[in-house]
Every structure is written in C-alpha cells, then in structure tokens.
C-alpha cells in the first residue's frame, strides 16, 4: 500500500446546528493538510455544508456590519480545505446525496461537489484505507 | 488484538448512553484489544475531576488510553491541572493518525 492514505468521512449534520460539523471539518482539514486523499460523503443535512448561497450578514444586536460580524461560512471553509489538499499533493472529493439535496433545495454547491447516492459511500468505504462515520444524534 | 479508537462527543450529564460507550471500551480491553478513548466537544466535561470522572480514571487503570481534545478543553475553560487522574490532553490529529494507521474508529 502506498504512503498516500485515502480516508473517507460520512457526515450527516447540517451547518450551524451542532459542533459535530465543526469537528468534522477540523478532521478533514488535518487529513487534507497531510496530503491525504479525502473523500466526504454528505448525507441528510450535511449536504448544506458546501451550499454556496450561505451569505455573511450584519448583527444589529452586536452593532456589527457584515464585515465586522465576519460570520463563518462553511462553504468558504470547505473551499479552503480543498485548496490545502491540492497544495499538499492530495485531493478533496465531495459527494452530496442527491435526494437529500433535492429535498432541501440546496443545489448551488461548490464546483467540485458531485451528486451521488449511499452506494458511493459503500464504494469509498471499500476502497479507502479507513472510514469514519459521524452520525447525527 | 485489534486497535480501537472510540470517540465520545457526548457528556454523561446529558446522555445516559455515554456509560454504555465506556462499558464497550471496558469490554474491548477485557477481550484483549488496544483501546484509546478520545473525548471531544461536550465529551470532555467529565474529564474534569468530578463525580463523573471516576469511570474514566477506572478505564485508564484497566489499560485504556483516555485523551481529551485540547481545543474542546480550551473552549470550556478546562485547564490541564483540573483533569482527572490518567486523562491526558491531546490534539485532534490523533484521530487522523488512528484512521491512517488502520485502527477501528467509532464515533459516538
């Protein structure tokens, strides 16, 4: 087996709702920065993570405009992780569950995000060095 | 003997099934496996010396490595000197190490 590892992650939580999403992206970022090939299968609400219509907003309670609020946008983080992977000699491959996307209407995703089904997760799990499923509660 | 990394993200004050996860760690050790229990998010709360920490210290005495995500600890203001006996802070990188090395990794 080559030194370049391939690790698959399965995510289910939507953005902005649970620390699991943040931890998952931290893990994916670590693997990407090592130059690993990283597969992400987004299921259920996790298909909203690379949704490009997430937008910054002001916060009147804090008295911040949009720039001062600097609200985190997961799709921006994911794009940065993909760039880190490429710079380190690896690749971030991301598949959104197609039916989950249709149900939620989150079709506008980052360019490299592909549409797929749980069968893709099975194939990735078969071909990867390891797989971590991060289930929703 | 297999290597297991068990990731606990829930705290026992909120989720009764955390005890089941600790028990699974104990059972895997009893069966001769190498077990690391990694605490993350609210899973680090019982890492503080408290009424909830003895089960974790007990696991370390049985041979488990019990680690707590240093980022989650900082978020919650838990300093290293407040950790219960046997529990060590660790970077999240340890999870990717285990994934890359072929451990069986289970998230709860």
Mean pLDDT, chain B, whole residue set: 97
pLDDT at A19 over 60: yes
Which tens digits make up the pLDDT trace of B5-15?
999 999 999 99
Alpha-carbon distances, residue B30 vs A74, B39, B50, B63 (angstroms): 41, 21, 26, 9
Q: Which residue of B has its CA nearest to A2?
A: B100
Q: Which residue of A has its CA nearest to B72?
A: A23
CA dihedral (A60, A62, A68, A74) in degrees, to 10, reads -90
Chain B residues near residue A30 by CB distance under 8 angstroms: 92-93, 95-96
Range B35-51 average pLDDT: 97
Chain A residues near residue B102 by CB distance under 8 angstroms: 129-130
Domains in chain B with CATH codes:
3-107 (3.40.1260.10)
Contact B10 A134 (CB under 8 A): no
* Residue whose C-alpha is closest to residue A24's, from A15, A37, A33, A36: A15
Please, what is the Cα angle at A121 between B23 and B25, to 5 degrees?
A: 10
**What one-character DSSP code corresponds to residue B82?**
G
Q: pLDDT > 90: what percent of chain B?
A: 99
Q: In the prediction, which pLDDT does A137 show?
A: 80
At residue A2 the predicted structure's pLDDT band, cuts being 50, 70 and 90, is low
Q: In the prediction, which pLDDT does A1 show?
A: 47
Q: In the prediction, which pLDDT does B1 show?
A: 87
Residue A60: CB atoms within 10 A of its CB come to 9
Range B66-95 average pLDDT: 97
A92 with A35: CB under 8 angstroms? Answer: no
Contact B96 A129 (CB under 8 A): no
Assembly ipTM? 0.95
- Domain A6-134, architecture per CATH: 3-Layer(aba) Sandwich (3.40)
Q: Which residue of B has its CA nearest to A4?
A: B100
The residue ranges of every structural domain in chain A are 6-134
Rounded-to-integer distance, Cα B73 and Cα B40, Å: 8
Chain A residues near residue B95 by CB distance under 8 angstroms: 27, 30, 132
pLDDT at B53 over 90: yes
Chain B residues near residue A35 by CB distance under 8 angstroms: none
DSSP string over A45-61: GGGGTTBTT-----BTT
pLDDT at A42 over 60: yes
Contact A30 B96 (CB under 8 A): yes
Contact A20 B9 (CB under 8 A): yes
Q: Pairing relation of β-strands A91-97 and A113-116?
A: parallel
pLDDT at A28 over 90: yes
Which tens digits make up the pLDDT trace of A57-84?
999 999 999 999 998 999 999 999 999 9
Q: Which residue of B has its CA nearest to A21?
A: B41
Rounded-to-integer distance, Cα A104 and Cα A91, Å: 27
3-class DSSP state for residue A17? coil
Nearest to A130 among B92, B105, B107 (CB): B105
């Amino acid at each position: 087996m080559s030194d370049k590892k391939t690790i698959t992650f399965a995510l289910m939580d939507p953005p902005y709702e649970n620390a699991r999403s943040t931890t998952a992206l931290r893990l994916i970022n670590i693997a990407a920065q090592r130059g690993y090939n990283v597969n992400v299968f987004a299921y259920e609400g996790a298909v909203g993570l690379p949704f490009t219509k997430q937008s910054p907003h002001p916060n009147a309670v804090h008295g911040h405009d949009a720039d001062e609020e600097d609200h985190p946008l997961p799709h921006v983080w994911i794009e940065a992780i993909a760039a880190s992977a490429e710079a380190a000699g690896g690749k971030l491959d991301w598949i959104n569950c197609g039916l989950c996307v249709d149900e939620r209407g989150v079709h506008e995703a980052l360019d490299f995000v592909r549409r797929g089904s749980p069968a893709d997760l099975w194939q990735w799990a078969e071909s990867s060095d390891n797989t971590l499923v991060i289930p929703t509660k | 003997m297999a290597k297991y990394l068990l990731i606990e993200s829930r705290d026992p004050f909120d989720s009764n099934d955390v005890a089941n996860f600790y028990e699974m760690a104990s059972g895997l050790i009893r069966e001769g496996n190498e077990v690391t229990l990694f605490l993350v998010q609210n899973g680090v709360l019982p890492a503080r010396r408290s009424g909830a920490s003895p089960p974790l210290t007990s696991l370390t005495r049985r041979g488990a490595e019990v680690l707590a995500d240093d980022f989650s600890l900082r978020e919650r203001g838990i300093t290293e000197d407040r950790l219960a006996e046997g529990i060590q802070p660790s970077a999240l990188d340890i999870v990717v190490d285990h994934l890359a090395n072929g451990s069986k990794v289970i998230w709860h």
